[in-house]
Structure formats: structure tokens, C-alpha cells
Structure 1
Amino acid sequence: MKSGKLNWDDLKGLINNNKSVKRDEVRVRNGVGEDCSVIDFGEYECVISTDPITGAAENIGRLAVHVNCNDVASCGVEPLAILVTILAPEDTTYEEINEIMRQIDEETSKINVEIIGGHTEITTAVNRIVVSCTVLGKCISGRAVSTAGAQVGDDIIVTKNLALEGTNIIVNDKYERIKNVLTEEEIDEAREYINKISVIMEGKISGEFGVNCMHDITEGGVLGALWELADASNLGFKVYEDKMPISVVTRKVCKEFNIDPLRLISSGSMIITTKNGESLVNLLKENGINSTIIGKITEEKGILVKLSEGEVIVPQPERDELFSIY
């Protein structure tokens, strides 16, 4: 099997064929596109998400925090606690593990999330360090926003620029090649993208604004995230390539490696659907967050409108473009 997420049909089969128990307390349960589960505890509900970091060498601790906290934020919920599992090969030093935990402690301090547990192990089962985290959030019962809530006619908004995470990973891990493509100023810009990875602020603002659906853009890029959102909501979408917010630096990096920025891992950007996109875009801007309306939710089919080709049906997402250069 190829590196990356399982293909769409295999993943769907694994999830749907292994749901023997369904508890009444679980309000939102596992499904393709649903990054969080929601458990009802009466007056409050708990929002839970888990994810590993496998595609990066640099900043793995920082990414592990934000990738997982972003999932909870995509429900319009503030994350409050995190559990950390580190699996490391035998040649790993204590200093390397300590640096990962230092990064995790530093990033969780910025967003007021407590490290409450986890597991650390040296094992021959991995050939590079893997960090997997589980994050918990809490909100008033019924308030958490699900990926499955999109409605026909909703504006589709993305925040910040796309492929921030992917660009940062490539520039750090492939510096010897990328230094011939980017200026030092552009390399510094790409390295600063790590500081834009969190979507907690836009999640909180959008949750209070009242939106139908949110989904953070991770592995598979914006097109993969749109596919997941549409499948969860049993709807389609129509988006426009020329409206996608992509930085000059990201375009240069993707051109050098012949990869599609619309299919590149994009933590730091969130998809939001709402009937009143312009108002939300303005509200986010007032809070220092740039966002862009890229299209609308439709009755059926996922369509990307390209300037050169017109309407193109978006296929099921395959592995992230990041894996094609490793």
C-alpha cells in the first residue's frame, strides 16, 4: 500500500463495518470527514479528536499540537487538554525527545491547553519519530458544529492562505534544493508559516457567529477537505481555482516539486460554510484573520472551475502531495 491515508472506499469500509456498539451519549460519531466525536454529558458535551504527525521531521511537536487542537476548534470549541504519545526508533536520543516535548509545552502554553497524559516509547516498529495526540474540548450541550452540517447555497470560505503547513515542511526538510528556488527572504517567510498553523481563533469566532459547518484543511489539501465535507453532508460544491488564496512562495515551491497546492496538506486554513459569507469574512478581518469566499455548496457533485479548462469534476482524494516528494 502507498504512504498516506487509505483510499476513500477502503477507509469508509473500515469505519462503517466496525460500528458494533452505538451509545446514546455519542452525539457525533466517527465517519469520513468527521475529525471529532462529540459525547453528551448532560449540561456539557466533550469534543475529542486524535491524529498523528508522520510527514514532517522539523517542528513535529508544534505541528502535533496544532493539527489536533485545530480539529476541536473546527467544532467551534476551545481545546482544553491534550494527551501525547511518542514512538521513536532505537537511534533516537533523549535530547530529540526532550525537544519535541519542549515544543509541545511551548505551543500548548500559547493556547492555554494542559498536557494531561500520554506515552513515550522506543521501538523497532517505527523508522522515524511518530507523535500522536488526542485533544479534548468542552462546550454547552448541542453547541458543537459538525462537518456534516453544510447546506445547499452556503458560501464556502477558507481562512488565511492554503498549503501553509505543506510549504513549511518542504522548505525545512528540502532546504538544499529549495534554496536554489527561493530567496532567503522567501525561505524565512515559509519558515514563519508555522506560526500561522492554529485555527482556534477563527473556529471560536465562527462558532459564536453561527455557521453551518467547519472543517480544517489537513492531509489532501483543500480539495480533499471539500470532498470530505461534501460527503459528510451528502452534498456537492462548486469552487473556483482563481479564487484560491495561495502565496507566491507556495506557488514557487509547488512548481519546483511539480505538485498541486490544492492537494497539499494545509493546516492553518479552515473551511467554513454559512449563508452569510460576506458578513463572516468582514468579522474575521476585524479580528486580523484574512479569509476568502471560494464558491458555494451545491445539491450534487464536486466541481472545480479552472480558467483554462472550465468545470472539472473533483475525484475522490488520494494521498497528499507531500508524500510524492519523499
Structure 2
Amino acid sequence: MGITLNKLYPGKLDHDFLHHLLSTYTSTGSRVIAGAQVGEDAAVIDMGDKCLVVKTDPITFTTEHIGYYAVHVNANDIVCMGATPKWFTATLLLPEKSTRQMAENIFAQISRACKTEKIVYCGGHTEVTYSIKQPIVVGQMLGEVGKDELLLKRHIAIGDHLVLIQHIPIEAVSILAREKQQVLQEQFSADFVRTCQNFLFFPGIGIAPYAQLARDVAQVHAMHDPTEGGVATAIHEMARAADRGVVIDQSKIPIMAEGKLVCEFFDLDPLGCLSSGSLLLAVPHKSIEPIIKACSSKNIPAADIGKFVEKEKGLILLDGQQQKRLPLFVQDEIVKIF
């Protein structure tokens, strides 16, 4: 008999408890094609010829460039459903003693990011509140997709391969280099730390170009972006939503050199670190080569890291000669040092 703790800790809710909440208290109605579900990136509503795809996500780990993060993190989830991000609203919560300049900077960041991505920033809510210590942006992104272009995790088939585009963990390394700059500069050069900080913009945390590149050359059954809890947790989410098992070859996962060094310095597992900027794709075997070839032609790292199997086989990580359960990071690794 398992032990259930009543106290909740920083990070995502554990999947079983979240499933309980979603299955007990949310509903679908006649026009909801995909509702609240562990592992699915957004809700999908039938609008006739097209579907409306809706996502909401907060930014809580970082304050610098918080508006930029909010737009891209929410847009990524819309893209993973096969849709195009179109409209963005944001709730901006500011702590006491915030300034007008702080509020305007965040608005400007959101506006710039939306204009760059051809998204309309069309509303939201802003207030100063007693209950927080740093700014929080809760974004809501809406997008559109034709019904025949919609991607859902339930489309993942046994035998589908899992392709990972771009190194991990881009987002975590950038956040750590910005929030823990002085600590890192005691061990690494200023140039190294600046390079890590700039990963936010190059290669960046947006995955729309990778999704389009893959879908232009091959069939894709589903996509997912690894955010909080890293690529390992994202794979758990995909498998759960698809009702599948999975076998992952750890040696095939592309980890950036800077990521290895920073994670080793802070004693973090890169598989459990925030990894926005990377993209997981479930694809049939015939799609692997054209996707990897298309990425290679643009100097984008991509690898076939595993395969979906029957649910009964579980979630397996191959680590050299060892076979173990794929770790699940309910709490992101970088929480350890904040």
C-alpha cells in the first residue's frame, strides 16, 4: 500500500493526483475535442471547419525577460498540437514596491515577442498584490488548426519512434546563468557564462521552426515540448497520455556541452531540468531519416532516442548495460538551488 503525503511541494503536481483533480472536476461538453488531461499540451474546441486550441501557463522560475518567456512557453504548447499561435492574453501580478518602469518593461517584452511571432497581444489583467515576492506572468495563448492537422497524444502508435530535436537543457542553463551568475563565474569564465545566458535567444526556447521543419518532410503523430521536469518527465507525460510504454536510450539524448558542465557544477541531472527549446516527436519509423536529415542540413541537432511499446512493458531507460525505470521529476532539478 502506497504512502500519500498531504503536503504539496514546489513544482508540478504528481501525475496521479493531477489526474484525480482533472478527471473529477473538469468537463468536456459536446464541442471539446481534447480536454484537461495529464500529458496533453492544450485544450481543443471544435469551431466548425477549424479547432480553437487554448493553453495557459505561468512563468515563476525567472524574472528577467519574463514577458519573453511567457509568450514562447505558451506558444510552444499550441505548436505541439499542430496549431498556429494567434492570440495572447496575460495576467501580470506585481509585488509590493514594484515600479511603473518594471510594469512597462514586462509589457514591452510581451509585445515584442508577440510581434516577432506574428501573435496578437490582445488583453489580460494587471495588479499589484501583497502575496508575492517577484513578478509572475500567467499567459494564455489561443491558436487555430484545421481538424486534419490536429496532433493528439492518443495518435501515438506502438512502434512509433521518439525523435528529439535540439540539445537539452537549453532553458535551465540560461536561467541558471542569469539567476546564479556570480556563483558560476567563480568556476567558469565570464565569456562562458554570457554564452549560457544567451541560450535564451540562440538557439532560443521557441520550437515552432523545428515543428514546421519536421512536418514539412515527414509524417508526425504527436509532439511535446519538455518544460518543467525536463525531457524525462516530458516522455512520461507523452506515454501516459498515449497509454503506452517507452524504451529510451540515454546515450542517444543530445546534451549540450555547456549543459553538462553547469549541471555537474550544481549536481543536477540534465534529464530533469527545464528544457524549453527542445522538441519531442512521436513518428513512424519511415519518418526518422528525413527529419534527422532535414535538421542536419540546418545544423540542428536531432536524434532517434527511443521507441513506444506496449504499456505493460513500462517506461525504461537504457543506461549502458543497465536497464532501469525512466526517472520522473515531479520537481524540476533546478528547484534544488533556488
TM-score (norm 2): 0.92
Confirm whether residue 22 of structure 1 aligns to residue 33 of structure 2: no
Query: 1:72 aligned to 75, 78, 81, which one?
Result: 78
Displacement of 1:289 in angstroms is 3.3
Cα separation, 2, equivalents of 1:74 and 1:201: 11
Native 8 Å contact 1:81 1:116 kept in 2 = yes
Q: What SS does the aligned partner of 1:131 have? A: strand
Displacement of 1:288 in angstroms is 5.1
Identity %: 29
Cα RMSD for the two superposed structures:
1.5
Cα separation, 1, equivalents of 2:154 and 2:37: 10
Confirm whether residue 166 of structure 1 aligns to residue 177 of structure 2: no
Q: What SS does the aligned partner of 1:35 have? A: coil
List runs of 5+ in structure 2 lacking aligned partners: 1-7
Matched positions, count = 324
Native 8 Å contact 2:254 2:301 kept in 1 = no
Larger mean CA deviation between 138-147 and 260-269 belongs to: 138-147
Cα separation, 1, equivalents of 2:64 and 2:332: 18
Summarize deviations over 1:260-303 as a string: whole Å, max 9, x none. 10000100011001012121121233455331111111113111
Cα separation, 2, equivalents of 1:125 and 1:268: 31
Q: What SS does the aligned partner of 1:166 have? A: helix
Summarize deviations over 1:159-184 as a string: whole Å, max 9, x none. 11111001100110001101122222
Aligned pairs for 1:235-254 (under 5 A) are 235-254=244-263
Confirm whether residue 274 of structure 1 aligns to residue 274 of structure 2: no
Distance 1:162 1:4, change over 3 A: same
Displacement of 1:315 in angstroms is 4.2
Larger mean CA deviation between 181-190 and 264-273 belongs to: 181-190
Summarize deviations over 1:33-85 as a string: whole Å, max 9, x none. 11211111111111111100001122211111110000001112221110011
The amino acid that maps onto 2:61 is: G
List runs of 5+ in structure 1 lacking aligned partners: none
Native 8 Å contact 1:181 1:252 kept in 2 = no
Distance 1:265 1:250, change over 3 A: same
Cα separation, 2, equivalents of 1:176 and 1:264: 20
Q: Which residue of 2 aligns with 1:304?
A: 317
Confirm whether residue 157 of structure 1 aligns to residue 163 of structure 2: yes
Cα separation, 1, equivalents of 2:28 and 2:297: 42
Q: Which residue of 2 aligns with 1:220?
A: 229
TM-score (norm 1): 0.95
Q: Which residue of 2 aligns with 1:59?
A: 65
Aligned pairs for 1:1-326 (under 5 A) are 1-19=8-26, 21-195=27-201, 196-208=204-216, 209-275=218-284, 276-287=287-298, 289-300=300-311, 301-307=314-320, 310-326=322-338
